[in-house]
Structure 1
Amino acid sequence: MGELILTQRGERHRKIRNLVMDAFTSRAAEKHRPSVQALADEYVTAMLATEPPTDLITALTQQIPFEVITRLLGVPTKDGEEFRAWSDDIMAPAGEEHRALVAALAMLEYNKRLMAVRRDRPEDDLITTIAQRAPAIGVTEDDAGLLIIALLVGGWETTSSVAAGGVLRLLTTHHPSGPTVYRYLTQQPQHLPGAVAEIVRTVPTSWGKTGLPRLAIQDTVVDGHTIKKGEFAAAGHDAGNHDPTVFPDPDRFDIHRPNGVTDTLAFGGGAHYCIGVHLARIEIEGMIGALLRQVPDLELACDPAELEWDYTTTVHRTTALPVTWPPLPSGAPADR
């Protein structure tokens, strides 16, 4: 089947990544901001039309990243739920590797069939771009299909979990001025980008304490220990995001940190720096921004200690995030 782009290196990795790099630049991502915001507003409006409490994950944070990346890729709407199920299975925890492999193989075969269709009938989407560019630069059909898997899984699951964890953090952390950070942001929305940067820094994306293993391409000394060329090492980016020499008082949730965006390791670094970093930030800002505008009195609907965590996946997330809000007066507009 080949390897996902996350485990590749060198020229092969560069060629595969370059198939879609121009679709994920900061400028390209900004073009999606209005549509992401409109989509988030729609989902929050729909949520307010229901009786509270509700699960914010199923009502919002799972929906936006999945719809954005599947639209960007060009996945047919009728196949969306199948893609969602495959993605969940691919993220199965240790001990369920067979389940993950079966899902990955099924999605790979689907991707290859869809690429063949898009070569004959191109559309304005990333699958068409990948299908057309891959043969010209020597990227195999399997590698192209695996790239689509990586973009879907990487562009949905982690963004969803970080957004939900971020809302939890905002609702349960107090700003130095007194109110919760969430309530503070309803009055000071200009600080939302800083809040998202701090969410990204402090909300873990996986249950593991270390990142993916990396191969040393030269002898490297880290904290007095030599990692020799050819050896593997796994660095914990979550731990790095709490380095007190970079982030003073690192366990404090501070939306006013001056280096929150520039120094975070949440999106990796080097050749494997997350390709979707700009789009992920826009999605998280869009979801939280829609909540702040439409539901300024949002509250957690349970004690934080009562939240259940989902250990059936490698992604760090709760099984649900129950939230509530006061009912709207009769005849009042949803956007309050």
Structure 2
Amino acid sequence: MLNPIPFYRTLRETDPVHWAPEVHGWFLTRHDDVMNSFRDARFSANRVSLMEQQLQGLDPSLLEHFTGNIKLQMMMYDGRDHIRMRRQANPSFTPQALDSWLPAIRRTMHMLLDRVQKDGQMDFVPSVSYELPPRVIGELFGMPQEEHELLLQWAAPIAEFGGLTVGMDVVTMAKKADTAMKEFAAHMTALAEKRRHEPGQDLLSQMMHGHDPRMGPGMTMEELVANAILMLNAGHMTTTDQLSNLIHDLLTHPEQLRLLQQDPKLLSAAVEESLRYRPAVPFHYRIVGEEMQLRGKTLRKGDVVFMGIAAANRDPAVFSEPDRFDITRDHLHQKHLTFSFGPHHCLGAGLARRELEIALEVLLQRMPELRLDPERPPRHKCSSLIFRGFDSMHVRW
């Protein structure tokens, strides 16, 4: 669906807890329901059993490394195990820690623009938004530049398999995702072993050596590797799509772009408004842990619930004129849910915000005449519930 916003509005107004037999799951579309479901322990993040059900019929050996890794990632845990893993990663994502990486983000963005500046045109998606996030993560892990290409090669098939849609060759994509996960895990294991004996200031070293044993057991080596991979994959496609969405939002709202160019202090506000207006991940999903009632509907144990972030972000009960893109909006009092909410609030939200702000700042400084290419219209990526962005977006300057 190219523009699902009217459909979200209809559900929000007429059936905010909607059963969709096509996907055998519930859809929540009101801001308070989505926010409350994120912090309600009865909605479980442990989706391993669902993932295994979805892969029934495939030879388990096809996804041995993929599923084995996913099962160890903190996003699949609730309660104590989730807290245990997240606590060990938290120090690497404090504002102070993230600010130390600002020069690396800026340097990477300039490098990407150096490649295309003289051309006067580019496809923004492959040239910038697809390249920036994994290269920044590579910097955070202390990986040399020549290894950043490997990150791109591994991240793509893993992300594509995670966003499977009807009509795709599941077996072929499963093989590619499993091979990528196997190679990625082997590389990160070797890097972790090196950091064990030769720690540095990188994110992996901080995770390995910053754990306080007084807080309980830390992550195993396998869990460290799995969650390092999670950090790349979670930060790759989401920030890639959000950066493309941000640039498209501004270029299609020229009066807002002029406001930003006249007042650069609106930079962070522009990022927040794009996060609200066009989130890269329109839905998160959870599993009902025990039978419950919600707005007169019975949600049974094991049911899948899709929390409609994109719908909640346009709820008029929270946002005035929600369908208007407005970078002067009061985001302190009108909270979007793009980075989730509660215990599973996105660990990398601070990093994503810094990447988006610096990318936008550098782009507008170097290409103040940036505009969409009228001869080659953008091609939306809208074939999955999980990711929403652009497959292609040609620009000129």
So what's the TM-score if we normalise by structure 2?
0.72
Distance 1:323 1:189 in 2: 22
* 3-state DSSP of counterpart to 1:212: strand
1:286 is aligned to: 358
1:225 aligns with 2:293: no
**Shift in Å, 1:312:** 8.0
**Shift in Å, 1:272:** 0.8
Distance 1:155 1:230 in 2: 28
**Shift in Å, 1:71:** 0.8
Query: Using a 3 Å threshold, how does the CA distance of structure 1 residues 70 and 188 change in structure 2: closer, same or farther?
Result: same
1:333 is aligned to: none
| 1:54 counterpart letter in structure 2 | M
| 1:321 counterpart letter in structure 2 | M
2:228 is aligned to: 148
Q: Does structure 2 conserve the Cα–Cα contact (< 8 Å) formed by 1:134 and 1:140?
A: no
2:84 is aligned to: 15
2:394 is aligned to: 322
Instruction: Name stretches of at least 5 consecutive residues in structure 1 with no aligned partner.
Output: 176-180, 326-336
1:248 is aligned to: 320
| 2:196 counterpart letter in structure 1 | R
1:334 is aligned to: none
* 3-state DSSP of counterpart to 1:211: strand
| 1:56 counterpart letter in structure 2 | F
Q: Does structure 2 conserve the Cα–Cα contact (< 8 Å) formed by 1:201 and 1:260?
A: no
1:328 is aligned to: none
Q: Which aligned pairs between 1:74-223 and structure 2 lie closer than 5 A? A: 74-92=142-160, 93-94=163-164, 95=170, 96-132=173-209, 137-175=217-255, 181-206=256-281, 210-216=283-289, 221-223=293-295
After superposition, what is the alpha-carbon deviation per residue over 1:257-309, rounded to whole angstroms, capped at 9, x for unaligned? Answer: 112686111001111100111111111011111122222211111367x3223
Query: Using a 3 Å threshold, how does the CA distance of structure 1 residues 73 and 183 change in structure 2: closer, same or farther?
Result: same
Q: Does structure 1 conserve the Cα–Cα contact (< 8 Å) formed by 2:122 and 2:396?
A: yes
Distance 2:318 2:147 in 1: 44
| 1:59 counterpart letter in structure 2 | S
| 1:210 counterpart letter in structure 2 | F
Q: Does structure 1 conserve the Cα–Cα contact (< 8 Å) formed by 2:123 and 2:394?
A: yes
> Which residue of 130, 150, 157 corresponds with 1:62?
130
**Shift in Å, 1:187:** 1.4
Distance 1:39 1:111 in 2: 22
Query: Using a 3 Å threshold, how does the CA distance of structure 1 residues 271 and 303 change in structure 2: closer, same or farther?
Result: farther
Distance 1:55 1:260 in 2: 34
Distance 2:77 2:136 in 1: 26
Distance 1:142 1:266 in 2: 29
**Shift in Å, 1:133:** 5.4
Q: Does structure 2 conserve the Cα–Cα contact (< 8 Å) formed by 1:29 and 1:279?
A: yes
1:331 is aligned to: none
Distance 1:260 1:59 in 2: 33
Q: How many residues align?
A: 315
90-99 or 129-138, which deviates more? 129-138
Query: Using a 3 Å threshold, how does the CA distance of structure 1 residues 224 and 250 change in structure 2: closer, same or farther?
Result: farther
1:37 is aligned to: 106
Query: Using a 3 Å threshold, how does the CA distance of structure 1 residues 261 and 111 change in structure 2: closer, same or farther?
Result: farther
**Shift in Å, 1:169:** 1.0
Taking only the aligned residue pairs, the percentage that are identical comes to 26
Q: Does structure 1 conserve the Cα–Cα contact (< 8 Å) formed by 2:155 and 2:232?
A: yes
> Which residue of 232, 238, 241 corresponds with 2:310?
238
**Shift in Å, 1:14:** 1.1
2:371 is aligned to: 299
After superposition, what is the alpha-carbon deviation per residue over 1:31-69, rounded to whole angstroms, capped at 9, x for unaligned? Answer: 333443344344335432x22221222332233322221
| 1:81 counterpart letter in structure 2 | E
| 1:193 counterpart letter in structure 2 | S
* 3-state DSSP of counterpart to 1:318: strand
After superposition, what is the alpha-carbon deviation per residue over 1:66-112, rounded to whole angstroms, capped at 9, x for unaligned? Answer: 22211112233332212211111111132334432332233222222
| RMSD of aligned Cα (Å) | 2.6
Query: Using a 3 Å threshold, how does the CA distance of structure 1 residues 205 and 10 change in structure 2: closer, same or farther?
Result: same
Moved over 6 A (4+): none
Q: Does structure 2 conserve the Cα–Cα contact (< 8 Å) formed by 1:69 and 1:152?
A: yes
| 1:316 counterpart letter in structure 2 | R
17-26 or 279-288, which deviates more? 17-26
Query: Using a 3 Å threshold, how does the CA distance of structure 1 residues 42 and 101 change in structure 2: closer, same or farther?
Result: closer
Q: Identify the structure with the greater strand proportion.
A: 2
